[in-house]
Structure 1
Amino acid sequence: MENEVAAPPRSNLPAGDRSLLLVDDDKPFLQRLGRALEQRGFNVTTADSVAEGVAAIRAGAPAYAVVDMRLGDGNGLDVLEALRRVRDDARMIVLTGYGNIATAVTAVKLGAIDYLAKPADADEVIGALLHEPGDKAEPPENPMSADRVRWEHIQRVYELCERNVSETARRLSMHRRTLQRILAKRAPR
Structure 2
Amino acid sequence: MEITAVFRLECEENVHKLAQDVISRHPNEINKCYVVFISNHSRTVPLWRQRAGKDEDRLVIWDYHVIFLYHPEPEKCLIYDLDSELPFPTYVHKYVTETFRTDHILKPDYFRYFRVIPANEFLKEFASDRRHMKRSDGSWIKPPPNYPAIQTTKSDHNLEDYIQMDTSKGPGQVLNLTQFVQRFYKPAT
Shorter-chain TM-score range? under 0.3
* TM-score normalized with structure 2 length: 0.26
More strand by share: 2
Name the TM-score, length of structure 1 as normaliser.
0.26
Structure number with greater CO (CA < 8 Å, separation at least 6) is: 2
